[in-house]
Amino acid sequence: MMRKIISGNEAVALGVKLARVGVTGIYPITPQTTIIEKLAEMKAKGEIDTEIVRVESEHSAMAATFGAALAGVRAFTATASQGLLYMHEMIWWVAGSRVPVVMVVGTRAVGAPWNIWNEHTDFTSERDSGWIMAFASNPQEALDLTIQAFRISEDERVFLPMMIGMDGFILSHTKTNVLIPDQDQIDGFLPPRRQPYVIDPEDPLGMGNVFPPEGYMRLRESIDSSLRNSEDVIREIGREYSKKINPLGDYSTLNVSYKLDDADYAVVAMGAWAGDAMEAIDVLREKGIRIGLLRIRYLRPWSEKEIREALKDKKGVLVLDRSTSFGRYGGPLYVEIKSTVSDIIPSIKGVVSGLGGVTVTKNDLVYLFNKFVEGMREDVIWYYPKEVGKVELRTPRDIE
Amino acid sequence: MSLGLRGILNKHNAILSGTSACPGCPENMAMRMLGMGLGKDVVLVVVAGCSSIIQGNAPYNAYNFPTVNVAFAAGPATASGLARAYKQRGKNVTVVVWAGDGGTADIGFASLSGAAERNENILYLCVDNEAYMNSGGQRSGSTPFGAITSTTPEGKKENKKNLPFLMIAHNVPYVATASVGYPHDYIEKLKRAKQIDGFKYLHVLTPDPYGWLFDPSKTVEVAKLAVQTCYWPLFEYINGKLEISSESLHCLDKRTRRPIRDFLSIQGRFKKLSEEQIKVLEQYVDSMWEKLKSML
Ligand code: SF4
């Protein structure tokens, strides 16, 4: 075990190396590019024995990763934004095939217009694809979750692909101190690859051909129940990881609480700004306001039980969304939280902010939390940290 | 009829009984011959199309090879992943992509071109029935000029996209064409392709009775006519060298070509062609042969 100052993307590449991945499908897109560059560099130096398929699109990156996984090796890819949307079709195909695959998403805004900066909408819009979806809040967690992802997705109680979100630039490019496990430790933690079936010439097995309606529906149901059952598997594997690999990280739960037990108010957030939220909470605590944080680490499975338990007895909950769900009142996390605890929480408010790289600082969060505790009137607000000039949208031009 | 195929037929039965193919289906024939040419140790990647229906409903599988079905545009990339994984595992497997003309000329072309450029060790097989037959006979990039399809009821206005030429331009080790009318030639080409390391492209003309509008008993006859009238050239391009297959040698000289009308008049899809339009098709054939001759 050693410590090194590395970026989130480097941490992920190291996780892929330690997991002894057999094939990676690579295609560049900001801000995940340095993951695949790092892997290519490791390959050139002979540090990894991974087949690297330098494909011509993200659709193909997911397809190549899928093919490799079917043929019985550990397979990985990474993407972001438009790239994730471009592979959308194959993301569903992989989940429907029940084949373990791991992907990291360096989250980023989706055009139009072009915007390369961070938000979570690309990630959250894959919510219903059937993948396990975790979200890291620092480079250490990005590495730890990448390694755990192989173990979770290859568990016979799960057999589903898993993606890990990581805030673009904020984590992907920021260097922090990361604890890097030894190869021996990971070899002891990750058993040889397991999957429900392997495409091998000896066995004329058909995968993915036409399914009669009832069979199709049963398969969809099996994905749902495996995804829900994966909750216990995630806790079990997380506990083992904390014990054997990283004693400083607590992975015994799906989601993470901060100063929540005695709190009157709770904030819910996902990703890197949870760190700023913790600092903002400390400021309010000093003023005697009892407020805490629930950080969502797993969007899927959604641990209803854990979340209800963590938020019970709170006077109010404020949900921070760095993503959008248009035409619905509030962002995706707000809607999820509302459907989970609206019967036990008197007041649930939401903030949509930080889109397209808009910087939300600790001070902004202090302001927002204060406003919330004072009883902010609107249920959901779109918050702009700085004074933003009014944007005039032109009315459609009549064509003569 | 004795084609001397019985011996090889017993080698590997690629197709089991009970497929969902229409009577007279050329793709069914092409698949059966695939088994004769490649034998065992084959994995198939099938993209959306008639072939994914011919295979039959799960849990049954009429293809006697392990078969991965994938989304339309994903065939070559999925095959690349499979081939790389077998290489990692030290297994000798021939990975075959089986796609129609829509999957090849249109939606899957980027993925095909990418895999060819990377010289992936796979065999890409295009079964070309010149339209989207499985979804009702709509035009594709591979539909010839003048053909009536369900989205070109007035006849297609553009020429056929010449995929074998495009693949030759990729400088891959092996590009060949075949026709289900000439099984020996096709099977020989499959055998040759199997021996070659790197990217192999084989384009098989598969005349479809339902889209081309001829009697299902005539599939082989139409497939032969396509070659005899020189509409469909048979050739092999191995490591930069072009060779015209013996069935097509007569096409090198325009005077010995059978008139293209013999190929057009046996099908319903060309019934609205005017004299002028037939000339356009003749010009297409001429220019294709000029190009081939220039490569010899
Ligand atoms: S439509 Fe044509 S290619 Fe498709 S199954 Fe029927 S005969 Fe075969």
Chain B residue with minimum CA distance to A197: B66
Query: Is A206 within 8 Å of B88 when comparing Cβ atoms?
Result: no
Angle, in degrees to the nearest 10, between helices B219-228 and B26-38:
80
Contact status of B170 with chain A (Cβ, < 8 Å): no
Q: Is the CB of B62 under 6 A from ligand 1?
A: no
Q: Please state whether beta strands B235-238 and B241-244 pair in parallel, antiparallel, or not at all (unpaired).
A: antiparallel
Q: Which chain B positions have a beta carbon within 8 Å of A94's beta carbon?
A: none
Rounded to an integer, what distance in angstroms lies between the CA atom of residue A36 and that of residue B150?
Answer: 45
Per-residue pLDDT band for A59 (boundaries 50, 70, 90) equals very high
Query: Is A206 within 8 Å of B63 when comparing Cβ atoms?
Result: yes
Amino acid residing at B296: L
Rounded to an integer, what distance in angstroms lies between the CA atom of residue A175 and that of residue A140?
Answer: 10
- What would the DSSP string read from start to end of B102-151? IIIIIITHHHHHHHHHTT-S-EEEEEE-SSBGGGT-B--TTPPTT--BTT
In 3D, which of B97, B131, B137 has the Cα closest to residue B116? Answer: B97
Amino acid residing at B12: H
Q: Which of A54, A59, A200 sits opposite B74 (nearest CB)?
A: A59
| A151-182 pLDDT tens trace | 999 999 999 999 999 999 999 999 999 999 99
Residue B244: what pLDDT?
98
- A383 versus B11: the higher-pLDDT residue is A383
Mean pLDDT check: name the lowest of A26-35, A182-191, A383-392: A383-392
Grouping H, G, I as helix, E, B as strand and the rest as coil, residue B180 is coil
Residue A215: what pLDDT?
94
CA distances in angstroms from A145 to A190, A241, A246, listed in the order given:
13, 10, 11
Burial class (CB in 10 A: 0-12, 13-18, 19+), A179: middle
Query: Which chain B residues in 2-61 lie under 8 Å from chain A, judged by CB atoms?
Result: 40-43, 45-46, 52-53, 55-61
Q: Please state whether beta strands A256-258 and A291-295 pair in parallel, antiparallel, or not at all (unpaired).
A: antiparallel
Ligand 1: residue whose CA is nearest its atom 1: B133
Interface confidence, given as ipTM, is 0.95
Rounded to an integer, what distance in angstroms lies between the CA atom of residue B167 and that of residue B140?
Answer: 18
Interior angle at CA A148, CA A142 and CA A152, nearest 5 = 135
For a pLDDT cut of 90, what percent of chain A falls above it? 94
| A360-370 pLDDT tens trace | 999 999 999 99
Q: Is the CB of B54 under 6 A from ligand 1?
A: yes
Mean pLDDT of the region A283-289: 98
Rounded to an integer, what distance in angstroms lies between the CA atom of residue A57 and that of residue A283?
Answer: 46
Rounded to an integer, what distance in angstroms lies between the CA atom of residue B190 and that of residue B184?
Answer: 10
Grouping H, G, I as helix, E, B as strand and the rest as coil, residue B210 is helix
CA distances in angstroms from A295 to A46, A256, A333, B190, listed in the order given:
39, 5, 11, 57
Decide: pTM greater than 0.90: yes
Mean pLDDT of the region A80-99: 98
Residue B1: what pLDDT?
44
Give Dmax over CA atoms of chain A in angstroms.
73
Task: Report the atom number in ligand 1 closest to the C-alpha of B24.
Answer: 7
CA distances in angstroms from A253 to A123, A296, B23, listed in the order given:
21, 10, 59
Residue B104: what pLDDT?
98
Q: What is the mean pLDDT of chain A?
A: 96
Residue B11: what pLDDT?
67
Q: What torsion, rounded to 10 degrees, do the Cα atoms A99, A100, A104, A107 define? A: 50
Residue A391: what pLDDT?
55
Per-residue pLDDT band for A400 (boundaries 50, 70, 90) equals low
Task: Report the atom number in ligand 1 closest to the C-alpha of B133.
Answer: 1
Q: Is the CB of B208 under 6 A from ligand 1?
A: yes
Residue B9: what pLDDT?
55
| A210-265 pLDDT tens trace | 999 999 999 999 999 999 999 999 999 999 999 999 999 999 999 999 999 999 99
Chain A residue with minimum CA distance to B79: A67
Rounded to an integer, what distance in angstroms lies between the CA atom of residue A225 and that of residue B112?
Answer: 37
What distance in angstroms lies between residue A88's CA and the mean position of ligand 1's atoms?
Answer: 30
Rounded to an integer, what distance in angstroms lies between the CA atom of residue A400 and that of residue B139?
Answer: 35
Q: Which of B57, B89, B118 sits opposite A54 (nearest CB)?
A: B118
Per-residue pLDDT band for A57 (boundaries 50, 70, 90) equals very high
Average pLDDT per consecutive 10 residues, chain B (296 residues; last block may be shorter):
54 84 96 95 96 90 94 98 98 98 98 98 98 97 98 97 98 98 98 98 98 98 98 97 98 97 97 96 98 97
